Amino acid sequence: MKNKEVQELEKKLTYKRESAWNSYNEKQKEKIFAFADKYKSFLDDGKTERECVEACIARLEKNGFVNAESKEQFAPGDRVYRSIRNKGLVAAVIGTEPVTDGMNILGAHIDSPHIDLKPTPLYEDGGLALMKTHYYGGIKKYQWSTMPLALHGIMYNSDGEKIRVNVGEDENDPVFMISELLVHLSQEQLARKASEAVKGEELNVLVGGMPIEDKEAKEGIKLAVLKLLNDKYGITEKDFMTAEIEMVPAYKAKDIGFDRSYVGAYGQDDRVCAYTSLAALMKVKNPERTCVCLFSDKEEVGSMGNSGAQSLLYENALIELIVKTSGSCSMWDFRKCMNHSHMLSSDVTAAFDPTYASAFDKSNTAYAGSGVCLLKYTGSRGKAGSNDAHSEFFNTVASVFAKEEIPWQTGELGRVDLGGGGTIAADMANKGMNVIDCGVPVLSMHAPFEVTSKADIYSTYEGFLAFLKKMKKDIEGLA
Ligand code: MN
Ligand code: MN
């Protein structure tokens, strides 16, 4: 064959991954950067599950959504939300078609790995006031030491008042940190396995060092810290027992790179998919099919509990959509609805990191900057715990993306048998709906500072919007 023919054949027959940036013109690039700025504010506003729910509700209410509690009935076009125990959220735009014909759902999680305080955290040792912690989710523990941390959460004082604590985010606030052994004396520590370089019980947070003005006081520094907390919040040491306090990185979301093409921030897994889902839902007006955002908690520890994706409270919120649009909901109505519902399990995936190339199969991994990633399956050790989307459904979603000219890619979470991970996809698919994983590739996932490409963030938003608007009840060929 002649050279030109071969080239044409190559173009016609082979798949070549391209940069998503090439799909966008200058005007669109401006939109991408503006979108990323709003996303960064969202991250800064909600660094815990609770705060993220509040950040979502604030944006939803500005966009005409009302608390589902305030309405007895829902009509087509209505915009409603329901908080799930203050740590999860379901929001919906009611469609003109019966809800029992199914919904188009975007399901993200809004918990992120972090460091929780223990029930009795405060102690004094070596002239330092410190707090004991128990980490949450899968982390490389050594990544969380020697960096500024902020403290977020709620406590109850002895009067039964709920108190919000937030220290370390304001520019004038002090911050906290987990100290680590100086390198000069680290010969033994550095010989440990990296997984034990910093151990769980070594994640102790420095919170004070100035003793109370009484030389006789036994633990004067601890007491001085307690006095400060009592003066400010009216709390005592005992009140930590019922509290929920999280330590999170104290810095704000930033642009990364000379070209500012990345967002660097804490908690992008999975708030990047929550934000893009939320933005897509808010863009939807008077849809045919009811469109839903379902944001769950506890994904990083197994999606259990009444705020995790397995909770019946999410089902209740979906049932409420049927009840308040049609007057009732039999078991069969709900099952029918699930049978015809489609969901993107909107969660992040690993982006290829050339420095650690051997962790990936280069031709089957997602790349930062190559667009929203659709993953047929996740899981580990032979796809365990994975949803494994049906080809018929995957192809339908891919066709919707292609029709809208959305740059998308696919991939696996790393090399076979190296590790792996799950999402809420399987939990939701168990209910009968069609589910596929879809989201933004992340560099340094679960690190205190995660990285995403702005092109991927935007194409994910575009993909989510297309999914909400274009997915129809029936999937061709899928009985
Ligand atoms: Mn995730
Ligand atoms: Mn995760």
Q: Report how far ligand 2's centroid is from the alpha carbon of 267 (Å).
A: 9
Q: Report how far ligand 1's centroid is from the alpha carbon of 99 (Å).
A: 28
Q: Report how far ligand 2's centroid is from the alpha carbon of 26 (Å).
A: 33
pLDDT of 283 reads 98
Q: Report how far ligand 2's centroid is from the alpha carbon of 6 (Å).
A: 44
Q: Report how far ligand 1's centroid is from the alpha carbon of 43 (Å).
A: 15
Q: Report how far ligand 1's centroid is from the alpha carbon of 366 (Å).
A: 15
Q: Report how far ligand 1's centroid is from the alpha carbon of 299 (Å).
A: 7
Ligand nearest 347 Cα, by number?
1
pLDDT of 87 reads 98
Ligand nearest 137 Cα, by number?
2
pLDDT of 2 reads 77
Q: Report how far ligand 1's centroid is from the alpha carbon of 313 (Å).
A: 20
Ligand nearest 270 Cα, by number?
1
Tens-place pLDDT, residues 253-307: 999 999 999 999 999 999 999 999 999 999 999 999 999 999 999 999 999 999 9
Q: Report how far ligand 2's centroid is from the alpha carbon of 219 (Å).
A: 39
Ligand nearest 437 Cα, by number?
1
Read off the pLDDT of each residue in 310-332 and give the average, rounded to a whole number: 98
Q: Report how far ligand 2's centroid is from the alpha carbon of 48 (Å).
A: 14
Q: Report how far ligand 1's centroid is from the alpha carbon of 268 (Å).
A: 9
For the cut 80, the answer to whether the pLDDT of residue 102 exceeds it is yes
pTM over 0.85? The answer is yes
Q: Report how far ligand 2's centroid is from the alpha carbon of 112 (Å).
A: 7
Q: Report how far ligand 1's centroid is from the alpha carbon of 265 (Å).
A: 15
Q: Report how far ligand 1's centroid is from the alpha carbon of 141 (Å).
A: 18
Tens-place pLDDT, residues 363-388: 999 999 999 999 999 989 999 999 99
pLDDT of 474 reads 95
Q: Report how far ligand 2's centroid is from the alpha carbon of 422 (Å).
A: 8
For the cut 90, the answer to whether the pLDDT of residue 216 exceeds it is no
**Residues above pLDDT 70, as percent of the chain:** 100
Q: Report how far ligand 2's centroid is from the alpha carbon of 100 (Å).
A: 32
For the cut 90, the answer to whether the pLDDT of residue 479 exceeds it is no
Q: Report how far ligand 1's centroid is from the alpha carbon of 266 (Å).
A: 13
Q: Report how far ligand 1's centroid is from the alpha carbon of 31 (Å).
A: 26
Q: Report how far ligand 1's centroid is from the alpha carbon of 269 (Å).
A: 5
Tens-place pLDDT, residues 452-477: 999 999 999 999 999 999 999 999 99
Ligand nearest 445 Cα, by number?
2
**Residues above pLDDT 90, as percent of the chain:** 96
Ligand nearest 113 Cα, by number?
2
User: What rounded mean pLDDT belongs to the chain?
Assistant: 97
3-class SS letters over the chain? CCHHHHHHHHHHHCCCCCCHHHHCCHHHHHHHHHHHHHHHHHHHHCCCHHHHHHHHHHHHHHCCCEEHHHCCCCCCCCEEEEEECCCEEEEEECCCCCHHHCEEEEEEECCCCEEEEEEEEEEEECCEEEEEEEEECCCCHHHHCCCCEEEEEEEECCCCCEEEEEECCCCCCCCEEECCCCHHHCHHHHCCCHHHCCCHHHCCEEEECCCCCCCCCCCHHHHHHHHHHHHHHCCCHHHHHHCEEEEEECCCCEEECCCCCEEEECCHHHHHHHHHHHHHHHHCCCCCCEEEEEEEECHHHCCCCCCECCCHHHHHHHHHHHHHHHCCCCHHHHHHHHHCCEEEEECCEEECCHHHHHHCCHHHCECCCCCEEEECCCEECCCECCCCCCHHHHHHHHHHHHHCCCCEEECCCCCCCCCEECCCHHHHHCCCCEEEEEECEEECCCCCCEEEEHHHHHHHHHHHHHHHHHCCCCCCCCC
Ligand nearest 375 Cα, by number?
1
Q: Report how far ligand 1's centroid is from the alpha carbon of 1 (Å).
A: 48
Ligand nearest 439 Cα, by number?
1
Ligand nearest 423 Cα, by number?
1
Q: Report how far ligand 2's centroid is from the alpha carbon of 171 (Å).
A: 29
Ligand nearest 112 Cα, by number?
2
For the cut 90, the answer to whether the pLDDT of residue 214 exceeds it is no
pLDDT-derived band at 88 (thresholds 50, 70, 90) equals very high
Q: Report how far ligand 2's centroid is from the alpha carbon of 466 (Å).
A: 25
